[in-house]
Amino acid sequence: MSSRFSYNFAQALNDVIKIASNILELEPGIIRSAQQIYSAANRILRAVDDLTAKTELLGQNSKRIVQPYVAAEIWEQSQPNIIV
């Protein structure tokens, strides 16, 4: 395998963690913004799914792609402005 393809999963994960840590250290409010975007995306997906379930598309019965569920995000904050 050539060296340009030697970038493995562990290296990629490490780089993602470094980038995320740098962003969070520079802008702690990014967590709140990310949660608001995630929440809005979920509401849009559920609304589209509810509409699709109530209509028939091209004469076919539609299927729900979103099922009711409960989710939670937990962040451990070891120091001010640093998330682990």
Instruction: Read off the pLDDT of residues 21-65 as tens digits, 9 standing for 90 and up.
Output: 776 666 667 667 777 777 777 787 777 777 766 655 555 555 555
Compute how many other C-beta atoms are within 10 angstroms of the C-beta atom of residue 24.
19
* Number of structural domains in the chain: 1
Print the domain residue range for 8: 3-83
Contacts of 73 (CB under 8 A, 6+ apart): 35
pLDDT at 49: 73
Under the banding of pLDDT at 50, 70 and 90, the label for residue 77 is low
| Cβ–Cβ < 8 Å for 34, 75 | no
